[in-house]
Amino acid sequence: MTVQAKDKIKNQQDIQPVYLESGIEVRAVYTADAVHHDTVKELPGQYPFTRGIHPLMYRKRPFTIRQYAGFATPEETNKRFHFLIKNGQTGLNVAFDLPTQIGLDSDDPRALGEVGRVGMSVDTLVDFEKAFEGIDLDKITVSLTINGSAIVLMAMYFALAEKRGYDISTLRGTAQNDILKEFIGRGTWIFPVEASVKMVVDTVEYCAHHVPKYSPVSVCGYHIRESGANPVQEMAYAFCIAKAYTDETLKRGVDIDEFASRLSFNFDIYGNLFEQVAKFRGGRRLWAKIIKEQYGAKKDKSCWMRMIAGGGGGGLTKEQPENNIIRSAYYALLSALSGTQTMALCSYDEAYTIPTEKAAEISLRTMQIMIHEMGICDTVDPLGGSYYVEALTDKMEEAIIREMDSIDSEGGILKNIANGHVQDKISEQAYLREKAIQEGRVKKVGLNCYKHDEPPKPVEFHPYNEAAARQQMDNLKNIKAARNNGEVESRLETIRKDAMENKNLMPSIINAVKSYASVGEIIQILKEVYGEYDEPIMF
């Protein structure tokens, strides 16, 4: 052995091993021999889409910027929407308050103190009419962040579009509508698992036939990761969930190519930059293979893993909050390097409050600076061909497959969510990570290293608007007095009948919202038919 070779070995032994959050070990240097997959010959826009779903990606059109917004009354939300559009935002991402998310009207005693607090309050179609006033639904795509009561809010959106004269067969937009992840994290479930999935599938089936350009489900790895999952688990559980919706939709006799292209994903972007890029590239390749090889899709489009890769809240800190601006810029960079279709960033104050207008603007500018000053849109998949990124892409794909297989071998995702096993696994990870941060083994700048000695500055909070909450309740009272209550009653009964007969609920719900039946009234009927979810207590 030469002296140099001996030195090389000695140097390798001197360094500490590095492991990614997903458990994959990182070499100090990568060479061509680390890459097994033949991505070198692959082109973006071609199966299996490792390098991106479109041939020209951002060179043709940058990702959509879609910040999350919505608070208090529909009127106030409408103002924020116009502000965001004026500032160059190309899509809207609507936040709803908690009563709306779990199907309670603003005048329900359980909604006390929550009306309009974390998002817009919606009781009836009137609220949608106000919120989207002056917004062209053909030009601005709207994403509804709604899950437990999604079927009602989607019905309202379609009813609104029809009322304003749009042809819903060309209407675009997205609903989050991923109830399975609500049982894992976020917690806005209402009905038992089986009935919940049935309603998601109702929307998928309805859209496949009547609103084919609309994305009825955005499967969220995001909240699974925010609940403590590592990046591999995030992708694996999201894919298992997407497969569960797919399997159920196929049982209705809908062809895979009629709906697979309308399923989309929502993923998280905090953590190690290269690990996340590899997670998205490997995940995109794997999803394409699943749809083509396991489900026999014929259209390329069906195989696309379309995504919003954004947020990153789990990486932000309350300590030295300005540092979150820098973190978010890196998260935005990795999201763009991963070929996302849509991006949204958590604002720097979002670790502790609803973003102020100033903070929301900084997030917008972060993405715009990247697009216009950093050359991020000039060429497709700029990290493609990097020994490290390609090797890691392979490893992540393999690890996601292993995690999916382990859920399948334990009886599948539906069973493991209903019995709380997945929740248990993730909350254990959350605990271990929190412990590692508190003990300083995982570094967070400003939180467990480079700390300030002086007490933190008081932070600006988004005030709760009690007057607005009262106004919302008054409005509901007036609407209930003015509408045709006989018609509402009979349309609500049709929903009950359709639910009992296991029919698709979309048509009867659309009919009911058109006569101004409220979210709470419709959900109550469905609760009477399906019952409510009994949460398994795991921690």
Inter-residue contact 325 to 48 (CB < 8 Å):
no
Interface with another protein, residue 202, by CB under 8 A: no
Binding segment (CB under 8 A) for another protein, from list 34-42, 47-55, 113-121, 263-271: 113-121
Interface with another protein, residue 427, by CB under 8 A: yes
Please state, in angstroms and rounded to a whole number, the distance separating the CA atoms of residues 319 and 325: 12
Sign of CA dihedral 160, 162, 166, 171: positive
**325 to 354: interface string for another protein, x by CB under 8 A:** --------------------------xxx-
- Near another protein by CB under 8 A: residue from 18, 461, 470, 478: 461
End-to-end CA distance of the chain: 54
Calculate the CA dihedral of residues 510, 512, 516, 518 and round it to 10 degrees.
-100
What's the longest Cα–Cα distance across the chain?
93
Peptide bond into 48 cis (omega under 30): yes
For another protein, which is the closer residue by CB, 94 or 495?
A: 94
For another protein, which is the closer residue by CB, 178 or 258?
A: 178
State the CB neighbour count (10 A cutoff) for residue 296.
11
**232 to 271: interface string for another protein, x by CB under 8 A:** ----------------------------------------
Interface with another protein, residue 121, by CB under 8 A: no
Inter-residue contact 233 to 268 (CB < 8 Å):
no
Q: What token pair was written down for 384?
A: 């493609």
Binding segment (CB under 8 A) for another protein, from list 58-66, 328-336, 368-376, 428-436: 428-436
For another protein, which is the closer residue by CB, 224 or 332?
A: 224
- Near another protein by CB under 8 A: residue from 92, 94, 98, 513: 98
Please state, in angstroms and rounded to a whole number, the distance separating the CA atoms of residues 318 and 332: 20
In the numeric block, the tokens 């042809």 are attached to 167
Binding segment (CB under 8 A) for another protein, from list 12-20, 136-144, 220-228, 233-241: 220-228
Interface with another protein, residue 441, by CB under 8 A: no
- Near another protein by CB under 8 A: residue from 53, 102, 208, 236: 102
For another protein, which is the closer residue by CB, 62 or 231?
A: 231
- Near another protein by CB under 8 A: residue from 318, 421, 483, 527: 318
For another protein, which is the closer residue by CB, 111 or 525?
A: 111
Please state, in angstroms and rounded to a whole number, the distance separating the CA atoms of residues 409 and 301: 30
Please state, in angstroms and rounded to a whole number, the distance separating the CA atoms of residues 301 and 47: 10
Interface with another protein, residue 445, by CB under 8 A: no
DSSP-based three-state secondary structure for 19: strand
Interface with another protein, residue 104, by CB under 8 A: yes
Q: What token pair was written down for 96?
A: 């709803």
Binding-site size, another protein (CB under 8 A): 41
Interface with another protein, residue 110, by CB under 8 A: yes
Inter-residue contact 220 to 175 (CB < 8 Å):
no
Please state, in angstroms and rounded to a whole number, the distance separating the CA atoms of residues 522 and 152: 8
State the CB neighbour count (10 A cutoff) for residue 366.
22
- The site for another protein (CB under 8 A) is made up of 98-99, 101-102, 104, 110-114, 117-118, 182, 185-188, 226-228, 318-319, 351-353, 427-428, 430-431, 434-435, 438, 456, 458-459, 461, 464, 535, 537-539
